[in-house]
């Protein structure tokens, strides 16, 4: 086979090569221009866009949560404070296998599924790279247990955080309230910027009412972070403004006395400083320990609270609505004199029952054989029902309504607590509107002794008592005395200085009758006068929980505790120069004079004892 080799022609080959080099050079130039065009697109056209992205890449805005304001009582004793506590926190972005880590932690520290679910819920609404607490209030042992294995849990760490703590627990739960984790509903109405670093919010009580003041202003730090989310340096920061401290008018010593005095009972006590309207005592028993609500109460414990027959979560002083019973009598007696339908010395025979003309029904007095011939003083002192049946009938329901309304019955007092109930002050119009029924005369009579439709809250009763003691100058109860150091003036006390139009003589007369309840020979609360050098004016009350049938006798012994009468007492002291007004309601307590009055007595005695008075007057 003959192989034919082409003759190599260097000149032709050189030319081919040269043309190819030129071609490739043009191609290279072309590609280079393309690269430059792309660079111009990225670096000139897109510069601003990419600069912003680079910045948001590296700069994280970190919330600096403010310290929540402290809540003090009137003497500066701490009611709600912030205590450092250890919490177990996770940064999900730094954890490779979150589910596995949670499982391991659960096994290690015995964490409930509920807490895990709570954590996962919270995780959804937190920003990237934020530290989310899984377990609050670690014990020393838990901290130690975790610390040993910490290297095996990247992204999990123990942090010291400030946690709300209520020193007096049970005692103040219904006044101070508590803070709890922010829930979905609250989140919607909150300022996201203000609450970015905050996990808790006031749920009830003062904590809720003054949430914005207590919370303070969230600060922000611009932190440069690397790709792992680790802070490299602080670029700028705006310091948080701590929440304002709040001083309450509450006196924790009196509060304690009142709470302890209700031992074994369900009920409420409210005491008001008459001159200022400041609430000294605000007790609803049973109380509950608010502290578990802060770090997350278990569903089981919460259910127990919910299902308890004693309803510890129910704020009786604020929301409990009870028939006032005989405590309404001084107000109605005053109404009788003001409307000139009776005189203080006007006498009426009490046979032990009252009958409306043309009706057979007997409205019974609590004293079966009657009080005999009584004037208004006797009627108040001995709590004669017949006198007030008659008075009510002559006044008529609408006059009673109008008069009592001036003392705040049937309306919210406007105290700085959320969820207050208004009670109920019936009138013809009210019944027509709400029940679509005419008013029956018999209903007027029982309203005269504080039964029937009429309902008051303990707070309302205390306020009305204080207003009466104040000679008709309306007292507006409030709890916050001042916020931080700036003088806080309660909107209720300063703006509406209402004076009820009353004749001084009538007020003096009714007060003298109330003094006789304690100091008179036949008063229903005579036990209170022991060992005091001033006079107390008050009125007992016993409110029926169920109706005793005609011709039947109310027998206390055989009655279920739940059906026993509520014991009430309202009083103020000293009668000559009133300083404190108290209202006490003991649910199913029986007689006002024997059960409720001693509680009020203890509070007034303690408040007015020279030592504590001296304290208050700076001597």
Partner 1 sequence: MISETKGEQFHPPSVIGTILRKLHIDIPLFIGLILACALSFLILYSASGQNITVLIRQATRIGVAFVLMIVLAHINPRQFYRHSALLYILGVLLLIAVLFVGLVGKGAQRWLDLGFFRFQPSEMIKITTPMMIAWFLSRYSLPPKPKQLMLAGLMIIIPTVLIAKQPDLGTSLLVASSGAAVLFFSGLSYRFIMATCAVLASLTPVLWHFMKDYQKGRVLTLLNPEADPMGRGYHIIQSKIAIGSGGMHGKGWLGSTQSKLDFLPESSTDFIFAVFAEEFGLSGCLGLLILYLLIISRCLYIAVQAQDTYNRLLAGSLTFTFFVYVFVNIGMVIGVLPVVGVPLPLISYGGTSMVTLLAGFGILMSIHTHRKFLPS
Give the CA radius of gyration of the chain. Answer: 37
Nearer to partner 1, 29 or 301 (CB): 29
> Pseudo-torsion of CA 265, 253, 592, 478, nearest 10°?
-100
Instruction: Give the residue, chosen from 25, 152, 359, 440, that forms a contact with partner 1 under the rule CB under 8 A.
Output: 25
CA distances from 372 to 138, 268, 336, 352, 523 (A): 70, 35, 20, 8, 15
Closest approach, Cβ 92 to partner 1, in A, equals 13
Secondary structure of residue 556 in the 3-state scheme: coil
Instruction: Report the DSSP pairing between strands 372-374 and 480-483.
Output: unpaired
- Our finding on whether 227 is near partner 1 (CB under 8 A) is yes
CA distances from 286 to 79, 260, 485, 589 (A): 18, 10, 34, 14
Instruction: Give the residue, chosen from 26, 28, 429, 614, that forms a contact with partner 1 under the rule CB under 8 A.
Output: 28
Secondary structure of residue 65 in the 3-state scheme: coil
| Cα 524 to the center of its chain, rounded Å | 35
**Segment interacting with partner 1 (CB under 8 A) among 48-56, 141-149, 499-507, 579-587:** 48-56
Instruction: Give the residue, chosen from 26, 46, 149, 191, that forms a contact with partner 1 under the rule CB under 8 A.
Output: 46
- Our finding on whether 226 is near partner 1 (CB under 8 A) is yes
Instruction: Give the residue, chosen from 1, 2, 6, 437, that forms a contact with partner 1 under the rule CB under 8 A.
Output: 6
Output the six-digit token pair for 244.
Answer: 């304002």
Cis peptide before 528 (omega within 30 of 0): no
For 374, phi then psi, to 5°, come to -125, 140
Contact 400, 441 (CB under 8 A): no
Secondary structure of residue 521 in the 3-state scheme: coil
d(CA 590, CA 556): 8
Nearer to partner 1, 47 or 432 (CB): 47
DSSP 278: B
Nearer to partner 1, 29 or 548 (CB): 29
> Pseudo-torsion of CA 40, 43, 45, 51, nearest 10°?
170
Tokens 């404190």 correspond to 580
Interacting positions 185-204 with partner 1 (CB under 8 A): none
d(CA 619, CA 611): 10
Nearer to partner 1, 77 or 123 (CB): 123
**Segment interacting with partner 1 (CB under 8 A) among 33-41, 118-126, 144-152, 366-374:** 33-41
Binding mask 566-585 for partner 1 (x = CB under 8 A): --------------------
Closest approach, Cβ 255 to partner 1, in A, equals 55
Q: Which of 344, 346, 442, 362 is nearest to 397 (CA)?
A: 442
Catalytically annotated residue among 326, 383, 476, 493: 326
User: What burial letters (b/e) apply to 167-186, b meaning 16+ CB within 10 Å?
Assistant: ebebbbbbbbbbbbbbeeee
Output the six-digit token pair for 476.
Answer: 């507006």
- Our finding on whether 615 is near partner 1 (CB under 8 A) is no
**Segment interacting with partner 1 (CB under 8 A) among 19-27, 135-143, 391-399, 402-410:** 19-27
Closest approach, Cβ 155 to partner 1, in A, equals 16
Nearer to partner 1, 13 or 343 (CB): 13
Partnered with residue 135 across adjacent β-strands are 88
- Our finding on whether 440 is near partner 1 (CB under 8 A) is no
- Our finding on whether 235 is near partner 1 (CB under 8 A) is no
Closest approach, Cβ 122 to partner 1, in A, equals 22
- Our finding on whether 43 is near partner 1 (CB under 8 A) is yes
Residues 6+ apart with CB under 8 A from 240: 64, 65, 66, 67, 216, 217, 218, 219
Closest approach, Cβ 483 to partner 1, in A, equals 44
Instruction: Give the residue, chosen from 67, 82, 225, 311, that forms a contact with partner 1 under the rule CB under 8 A.
Output: 225
Instruction: Give the total residue count for the chain.
Output: 619
Closest approach, Cβ 62 to partner 1, in A, equals 16
Nearer to partner 1, 149 or 231 (CB): 231
Closest approach, Cβ 24 to partner 1, in A, equals 6
Binding mask 49-88 for partner 1 (x = CB under 8 A): xxx-xxx-xx------------------------------
- Our finding on whether 30 is near partner 1 (CB under 8 A) is no
Nearer to partner 1, 25 or 440 (CB): 25
Look up 610 and say whether it is catalytic. no
DSSP 365: -
Task: Return the active site residues.
Answer: 326
Interface residues with partner 1 (CB under 8 A)? 5-10, 12-14, 16-18, 20-21, 24-25, 28-29, 31-32, 35-36, 38-40, 42-44, 46-47, 49-51, 53-55, 57-58, 224-228, 232
């Amino acid at each position: 086979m003959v192989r034919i080799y082409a003759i190599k022609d260097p000149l032709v080959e050189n030319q081919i090569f040269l043309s190819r080099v030129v071609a490739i050079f043009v191609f290279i130039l072309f590609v280079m221009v393309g690269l430059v065009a792309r660079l111009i697109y990225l670096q000139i056209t897109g510069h601003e866009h990419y600069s912003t992205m680079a910045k948001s890449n590296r700069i994280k805005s970190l919330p600096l949560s403010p310290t929540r304001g402290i809540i003090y009582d009137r003497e500066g004793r701490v009611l709600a404070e912030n205590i450092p506590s250890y919490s177990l926190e996770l940064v999900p972005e730094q954890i490779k296998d979150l589910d596995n880590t949670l499982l391991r932690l659960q096994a290690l520290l015995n964490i409930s599924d509920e807490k895990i679910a709570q954590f996962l819920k919270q995780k959804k609404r937190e920003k990237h790279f934020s530290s989310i607490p899984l377990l609050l209030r670690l014990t020393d042992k838990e901290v130690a247990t975790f610390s040993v294995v910490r290297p095996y849990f990247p992204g999990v760490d123990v942090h010291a955080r400030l946690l709300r703590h209520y020193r007096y627990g049970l005692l103040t739960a219904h006044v101070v309230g508590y803070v709890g984790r922010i829930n979905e509903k609250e989140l919607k109405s909150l300022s996201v910027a203000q609450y970015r670093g905050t996990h808790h919010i006031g749920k009830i009580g003062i904590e809720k009412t003054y949430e914005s003041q207590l919370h303070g202003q969230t600060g922000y730090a611009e932190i440069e972070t690397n790709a792992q989310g680790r802070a490299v340096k602080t670029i700028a920061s705006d310091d948080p403004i701590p929440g304002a401290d709040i001083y309450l008018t509450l006196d924790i010593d009196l509060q304690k006395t009142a709470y302890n005095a209700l031992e074994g009972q369900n009920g409420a006590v409210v005491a008001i400083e008459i001159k200022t309207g400041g609430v000294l005592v605000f007790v609803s028993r049973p109380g509950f320990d608010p502290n578990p609500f802060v770090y997350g109460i278990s569903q089981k414990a919460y259910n127990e609270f919910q299902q308890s027959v004693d309803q510890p979560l129910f704020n009786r002083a604020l929301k409990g609505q009870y028939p006032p019973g005989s405590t309404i009598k001084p107000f109605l007696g005053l109404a009788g004199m003001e409307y000139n339908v009776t005189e203080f010395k006007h006498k009426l025979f009490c046979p032990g029952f009252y009958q409306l003309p043309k009706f057979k029904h007997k409205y019974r007095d609590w004293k079966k054989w009657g009080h005999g011939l009584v004037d208004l003083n006797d009627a108040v002192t001995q709590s004669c029902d017949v006198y007030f049946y008659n008075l009510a009938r002559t006044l008529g329901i609408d006059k009673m309504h109008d008069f009592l309304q001036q003392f705040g019955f049937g309306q919210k007092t406007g105290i700085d607590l959320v969820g207050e109930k208004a009670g109920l002050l019936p009138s013809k119009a009210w019944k027509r509107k709400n029940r679509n029924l005419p008013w029956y005369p018999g209903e007027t009579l029982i309203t005269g002794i504080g039964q029937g439709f009429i309902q008051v809250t303990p707070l309302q009763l205390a306020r009305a008592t204080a207003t009466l003691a104040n000679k008709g100058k309306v007292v507006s109860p409030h709890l916050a005395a001042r916020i931080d150091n700036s003088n806080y003036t309660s909107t209720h006390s300063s703006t509406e200085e209402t004076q009820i139009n009353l004749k001084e003589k009538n007020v003096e007369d009714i007060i003298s009758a109330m003094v006789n309840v304690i100091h008179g020979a036949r008063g229903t609360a005579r036990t209170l006068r022991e060992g005091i050098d001033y006079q107390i004016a008050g009125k007992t009350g016993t409110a029926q929980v169920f109706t005793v049938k005609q011709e039947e006798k109310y027998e206390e012994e055989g009655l279920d505790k739940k059906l026993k009468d509520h014991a009430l007492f309202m009083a103020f002291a000293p009668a000559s120069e009133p300083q404190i007004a108290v209202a006490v309601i003991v649910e199913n307590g029986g007689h006002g004079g024997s059960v409720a009055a001693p509680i009020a007595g203890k509070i007034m005695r303690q408040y007015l004892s020279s030592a504590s008075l001296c304290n208050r007057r700076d001597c």
